[in-house]
């Protein structure tokens, strides 16, 4: 499969964040970037070392075409069999899937006729809100509903609460034997309460791979199952991710878009007092990305203690916004 063209590549345009544009007090200078280059190279070497030690395995997810083949076939059968799909998960177990589907499918997909939406309607139970759970169960046809419960640890309290309510409703409506056939668990391949329950009840399962943190699982079964059920070409999705990973393989802060964004954020925060980071897409379809990015940024970088166990209270506060709507509400706080 061909890689994305150069014209379609992501570009980090940081001109308006530079000292040349906003002054030395507020903006990052080329000297600042030169000064952080060695630190970036050191972090690059650390990540490479951890990857070699079977940590940071999220980097390998785009290469698992065998899993993609399995999920694509699973989704092909499920799209023909089910009218509704309920994803039960929270944080990294739902936000990536929501962002992917929102970005790559019709904005009113659930309202389309079955022949136009290319798969079951998509519902998410993340927050343990009884009203939302009740409304979801009233909306779907349980006899034509597939449930995917997702938890890497298998012990996420909010996910367990939502799942047990849905499971009980399905068992009551369909009988335990049939309901079990309509439940799929995505969890640790060996341990955890969800793995234990899935094995005990005979649910279908997909693994969350070892060496991958929960918030980094969007390109594993966690994100690929919902995407495939929504009609997304997951092989192309993985190919794009692989291309981006390869672009982000350089230790040069100016050549690696991931390191460049990280360096700009660190410098803006630590040297220029910019403690808030606003993600503000101007396309409705990208708002899920802002929501997902907010979780990734805060959970990864919001730390009270340093790696030396010193109190640092580090991390920018990530904020999601949507243009042009938030030009009429929040933007005066950012400028």
* CB-count exposure of residue 10 (10 Å: 0-12, 13-18, 19+): exposed
pLDDT category at 9 given cuts 50, 70, 90 is confident
The phi, psi pair for 206, rounded to 5°, reads -130, 145
Whole-Å CA distances, 153 to 190, 215, 277, 279, 287:
10, 12, 29, 29, 28
In this prediction the pTM is 0.93
Q: What is the pLDDT of residue 10?
A: 80
The β-bridge partners of 204 are: 184
Q: State yes or no: pLDDT of 7 exceeds 90.
A: no
d(CA 81, CA 161): 27
d(CA 305, CA 297): 16
The more confidently predicted of residues 46 and 6 is: 46
Q: State yes or no: pLDDT of 29 exceeds 80.
A: yes
Q: Which of 296, 286, 265 is nearest to 58 (CA)?
A: 296
Q: State yes or no: pLDDT of 189 exceeds 50.
A: yes
Lowest pLDDT segment from 30-39, 104-113, 169-178, 326-335: 326-335
**Mean pLDDT, range 81-99, rounded to an integer:** 97
Q: Which domains are present in the chain?
A: 6-54+251-334 (3.40.50.10490), 59-232 (3.40.50.10490)
Q: What is the pLDDT of residue 38?
A: 97
d(CA 69, CA 142): 27
Reduced to 3 states, what is the DSSP secondary structure of residue 147? strand
d(CA 109, CA 283): 16
| Residue range 302-332, pLDDT digits in tens | 999 988 899 999 999 999 999 999 999 998 8
pLDDT category at 8 given cuts 50, 70, 90 is low
| Residue range 210-268, pLDDT digits in tens | 889 889 999 999 999 999 999 999 999 999 999 999 999 999 999 999 999 999 999 99
* Percentage of the chain modeled with pLDDT above 90: 90
Reduced to 3 states, what is the DSSP secondary structure of residue 18? strand
DSSP class per residue in 64-105: -HHHHHHHHHHHHHHHHH-SEEEEE--GGGTHHHHHHHHHHS
The phi, psi pair for 254, rounded to 5°, reads -85, -20
Maximum Cα–Cα distance for the chain, whole Å? 68
């Amino acid at each position: 499969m061909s890689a994305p063209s150069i014209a379609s590549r992501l570009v980090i345009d940081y001109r308006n964040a530079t000292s040349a544009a906003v002054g030395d007090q507020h903006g990052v200078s080329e000297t600042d970037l030169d000064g952080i280059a060695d630190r970036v190279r050191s972090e690059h070497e650390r990540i490479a070392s951890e990857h070699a030690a079977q940590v940071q395995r999220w980097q390998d997810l785009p290469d698992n075409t065998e899993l993609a083949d399995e999920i694509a076939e699973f989704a092909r059968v499920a799209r023909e069999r089910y009218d509704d799909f309920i994803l039960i998960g929270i944080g990294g177990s739902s936000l990536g899937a929501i962002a992917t589907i929102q970005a790559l499918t019709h904005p009113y997909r659930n309202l389309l006729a079955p022949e136009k939406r290319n798969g079951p309607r998509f519902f998410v139970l993340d927050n343990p809100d009884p009203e939302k759970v009740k409304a979801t169960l009233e909306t779907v046809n349980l006899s034509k509903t597939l449930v995917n419960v997702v938890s890497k640890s298998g012990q996420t309290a909010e996910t367990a609460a939502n799942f047990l309510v849905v499971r009980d409703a399905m068992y009551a409506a369909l009988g335990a034997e049939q309901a079990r056939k309509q439940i799929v668990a995505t969890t640790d391949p060996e341990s955890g309460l969800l793995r234990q329950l899935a094995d005990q009840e005979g649910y279908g399962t997909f693994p969350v791979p070892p060496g991958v943190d929960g918030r980094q699982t969007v390109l594993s079964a966690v994100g690929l199952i919902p995407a495939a059920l929504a009609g997304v070409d997951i092989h192309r999705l993985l190919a794009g991710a692989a291309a981006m990973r390869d672009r982000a393989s350089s230790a040069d802060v100016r050549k690696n878009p991931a390191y460049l964004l990280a360096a700009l954020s660190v410098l803006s925060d630590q040297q220029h007092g910019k403690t808030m980071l606003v993600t503000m897409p101007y396309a409705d379809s990208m708002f899920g990305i802002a929501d997902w990015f907010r979780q990734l940024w805060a959970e990864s970088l919001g730390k009270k203690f340093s790696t030396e166990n010193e109190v640092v209270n580090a991390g920018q506060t990530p904020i999601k916004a949507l243009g042009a709507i938030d030009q009429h509400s929040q933007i005066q706080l950012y400028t």
